Chain A
Amino acid sequence: MDKLEQNRRLKLGAAAGLALLLAACSEKASIDPSRQLGSNPELPKAQDFLVPPMQVPEGVGWKGDARPQVVSGLRIEKIASGLLHPRQLLVLPNGDVLVVEANGPGEEAVTTPKQLIAGMVKGRSGKSGKGGNRVTLLRKKAGSTGEWEQHVYIEHLHSPFGIQLVGDTLYVANTGNIMKYRYVPGETKMSDPGVELGDLPSTVNHHWTKALLASPDGKKLYVGSGSNSNITENGLEVEYRRAAVLEVDAATGASRVFASGIRNPTGLQWEPQSGKLWAIANERDEIGADLVPDYLTSVREKGFYGWPYSYYGQHVDHRVKPQRPDLVKTAIKPDYALGSHVAALGLLFYTGTGLPAQYRGGAFVAEHGSWDRTPLSGYQVVYVPFENGMPKGQAQPVVTGFYSADEKQLYGAPVGMAQDAAGALLIADDVGNVVWRVTSAGQ
């Protein structure tokens, strides 16, 4: 009898323990997103979870004439649809627009049971839709409104993302190399088969996007190379030339690490007033719904921005072994927080005059949207005002309405952006498979 009593107590204890532990899993965001915007985001204490916060709306696309909402004073139209995971845009001098259609190469080996399950959950959102591995050229139909002409421009690429034009040389950054093509204005199909300029880190490809930006003189190319893990769970060996901005010599293809410790740098851009290099970054997951804010930052040569050892300056991440206090001491605090898990994937310093005055001089940021947070965050395009080459003031949502009010369905998700010949803002949407064009309402 005694033994039974004891066993019963054991069982109760175990059940209570399990309940407590599981309760600790369903952590909702508790910090108002507005307090994680700007130069001094509020950072709660890091947590470890049994099951990290996870919320993924089901990708359904845009039905009929449905479209994102824009703030008053703006108008949005669809200029291309039916694309294959459009990710990045480049406006050519003659007004044509190149759309890079791609998704991850799907080459990351399944090495833990968690990857099996996470893959299934994230797949629901439509974010893992198959990429076209191609570039499509959009051309405005003369004298007509509605969708633009679509021409398949370059095919058989390998998870391309970054694209740049320098003079008559078109550079396309695949996940594993930079390809170089001779650009002929007016062509609707690239006639040059292209040559490889240089290789890029391409093992594992946990983060596969390679953002690309040419220097103003065209002699250097800057490449955003994302980390090969969330937080070194694939080992430090596979992080060589990862979580870094690489500088590639355009003449030889030789490259070096320009800045490091940026977990997943994309949206490389020159800030027009200061001429400095800026990037957006996706920060680490699974230490809380309100950690760590993704950010927008200037990128200093030889600067170290913390990953993996610390975040937002000197906040040490205990998940990394061995720890590196010597590096943490040197970690630079990013310039501007965009909010936790918003997944910023597009940056555009707006230099045109086509949009109302309040959108001039600052930057648009496209937030692809969260999976590791309840409620959802991101899934919008925001405008960050700049003054004297630095962000000044709160980011304001400009394009929203990418998911349903109950957060169950996902219509689209913004990624790359560009400014077209008329000064309109173009947005690639890789869940809706659409390119949107935002103009002043008056036009």
Chain B
Amino acid sequence: MTAAHPSPRYSFATAIFGLLDPIPFGFFVATLMFDIIYANSANVLWIKGASWLVSIGLVFAIIPQLINLYAVWFSKYRVRMRGDVANFWLNVVGIVAAIINAFVHSRDAYATMPDALWLSFVTVVAMSIGRIILSGRNVTYKEINHGQA
């Protein structure tokens, strides 16, 4: 996500993005946790919970991912910063894995395992790396603009 040179329209998209983008990541982390607990306990409460988490996470991902797609590839104001493209593709990997994972979670009982666990892991790792790459950039931003961020 590129936040430089905002136009009024752009800043609205930025706000929406900032608001919605963390939600799916949280849902996917929770999915992974629930999957780990189910894999170890075989208590269906956890896998049913995980199937809601991954599905709802995907619904919340639609708008921020579209904004990200536009910002990175199509916006005429785009100024790609270091890590934007890598973060974009890491998100693609994470979301694709999550979509497959939502279907895997629709299987009954332990037929979800171990596929669900691995897919949750891929989603969380891919999106985590993307976030780490971007946060590295934010540090530079902070250092240049003392105290503003």
Contact = CB atoms under 8 A, between A and B. Distances in A.
Contacts of B45: 235
B136 to A, nearest CB: 15
A302 interface: no
Nearest to B41: A321
Given A4-B85, A10-B89, A50-B100, A229 B108 contact: yes
Contact of A318 (B43, B102, B104, B111): B111
A49 interface: yes
A11 B92 contact: yes
Contacts of B110: 318-321
Given A3-B86, A18-B96, A114-B106, A321 B42 contact: yes
B55 interface: yes
Interface footprint category on B: 20 to 34
A21 B100 contact: yes
Interface footprint category on A: 20 to 34
A51 interface: yes
B106 A232 contact: no
Given A14-B92, A322-B42, A48 B107 contact: yes
Contacts of B86: 3, 7
Nearest to B54: A113
Contact of A112 (B43, B51, B100, B115): B51
A83 interface: no
- Interface SS of chain B: helix, strand, loop or mixed? helix
B101 to A, nearest CB: 10
A230 B108 CA distance: 8
B46 to A, nearest CB: 11
B32 to A, nearest CB: 18
A322 B55 CA distance: 27
A10 B93 contact: yes
A393 to B, nearest CB: 35
A50 B103 contact: yes
A286 B107 contact: yes
B93 A231 contact: no
B66 interface: no
Contacts of A235: 43-45
Nearest to A286: B108
A18 B93 contact: no
Contacts of B108: 229-233, 286, 319
B109 A113 contact: no
B10 interface: no
16 contacts: A3-B85, A3-B86, A4-B85, A10-B93, A50-B100, A50-B106, A51-B106, A112-B52, A113-B106, A114-B51, A229-B109, A232-B44, A235-B45, A318-B110, A319-B110, A320-B110
- The list of the 7 closest CB pairs from A to B, nearest first, reads A321-B42, A50-B103, A233-B108, A319-B111, A7-B89, A114-B106, A321-B110
Interface of A: 3-4, 7, 10-11, 14, 17-18, 21, 25, 48-51, 111-114, 229-235, 286-287, 318-322
Given A48-B111, A319-B107, 10 more contacts: A7-B89, A50-B100, A51-B106, A112-B51, A231-B111, A234-B44, A235-B44, A235-B45, A318-B110, A321-B42
